[in-house]
């Protein structure tokens, strides 16, 4: 068979719109999810036992089930309770709730990897727990968390493609509808795949750059 990309040209704006929707969903879900993740993390490590158990259960339930099933529960399940959601809203809620559990675990791992000696040193200096977090632990923990968070952003961007199954008009959805109208399946999948690849490569480059400029003070230290 001969490959021919010309048939795709009239649909390039459809593909770019799909890409834009994917990016928009990803960014909103990342911001909302990582904020919700902070609350989940604080709830999990906090002193209140019932809240801690609740947060742990939530995190484990989300991390051990597929995003697609979570989206199905929101998109098909909520209407059964009388709550009808647009695909965009359903995808946003699903990705946010999903992302929150993963970011909470990232915060936990990041804070746990700060050596205990630093906290003890703070205590020995007579600092209050809040001061220890603010002046000692926060900065190295942030440096540990940052690469994992940007990695999560890329994974979330790739995962936004799953929204196409609940008819969210993002890039994968656009790819499949162009494929259905032009029958240029291989070509449009190749172009769409390259769009995903390009954006995720840019994200990874930008995060490496941001890491070296934001955390220049930490070069060569192993905190």
23: contact with other proteins by CB under 8 A: no
Total residues contacting other proteins by CB under 8 A comes to 50
- Residue 181's nearest CA partner among 22, 3, 1, 14 is 14
47-56 in b/e burial notation, b at 16+ Cβ within 10 A? Answer: eeeeeeeebe
- Which residues have CB under 8 Å from 3's CB, separation 6+? 186, 187
- Which residues have CB under 8 Å from 167's CB, separation 6+? 87, 173
Interface residue with other proteins among 110, 137, 140, 174 (CB under 8 A) is 110
- How far are the Cα atoms of 75, 156, 215 from residue 56, in angstroms, in the given order? 25, 21, 31
HSE at residue 175, side-chain half, CA atoms within 13 A, is 22
177: contact with other proteins by CB under 8 A: no
Query: In the bound complex, what is the minimum distance in angstroms from residue 124's beta carbon to other proteins?
Result: 26
133: contact with other proteins by CB under 8 A: no
172: contact with other proteins by CB under 8 A: yes
Residues 55 to 84: which contact other proteins by CB under 8 A?
60-61, 63-70, 72-73, 76-77, 80-81
- How far are the Cα atoms of 48, 70, 74 from residue 159, in angstroms, in the given order? 33, 12, 16
Interface residue with other proteins among 54, 118, 165, 218 (CB under 8 A) is 165
Task: Pick the piece of the chain touching other proteins (CB under 8 A) from 8-16, 109-117, 122-130, 205-213.
Answer: 109-117
Residues that bind other proteins (CB under 8 A): 1, 60-61, 63-70, 72-73, 76-77, 80-81, 98-99, 102, 106, 109-110, 113, 144, 147-148, 151-152, 155-156, 158-159, 161-162, 164-165, 172, 175-176, 179, 185-186, 189, 192-193, 196-197, 200-201
């Amino acid at each position: 068979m001969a490959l021919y990309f010309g048939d795709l040209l009239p649909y390039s704006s459809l593909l770019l719109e799909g890409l834009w929707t994917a990016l928009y969903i990803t960014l909103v879900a990342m911001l909302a999810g990582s904020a919700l993740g902070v609350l989940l993390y604080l709830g999990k490590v906090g002193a209140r036992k019932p809240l801690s158990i609740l947060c742990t259960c939530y995190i484990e339930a989300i991390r051990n089930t597929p995003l697609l099933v979570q989206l199905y529960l929101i998109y098909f399940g909520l209407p059964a309770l009388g709550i009808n959601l647009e695909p965009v809203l359903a995808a946003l809620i699903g990705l946010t709730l999903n992302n929150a559990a993963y970011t909470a675990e990232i915060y936990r791992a990041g804070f746990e990897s700060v050596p205990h000696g630093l906290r003890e040193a703070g205590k020995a200096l007579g600092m209050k727990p809040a001061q220890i977090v603010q002046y000692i632990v926060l900065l190295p923990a942030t440096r540990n968390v940052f690469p994992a968070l940007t990695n999560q952003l890329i994974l979330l961007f790739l995962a936004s493609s799953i929204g196409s199954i609940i008819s969210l008009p993002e890039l994968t959805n656009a790819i499949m509808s162009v494929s259905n109208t032009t029958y240029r399946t291989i070509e449009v999948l190749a172009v769409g795949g390259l769009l995903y690849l390009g954006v995720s490569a840019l994200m990874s480059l930008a995060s490496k750059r941001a890491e070296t400029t934001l955390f220049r003070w930490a070069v060569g230290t192993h905190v």
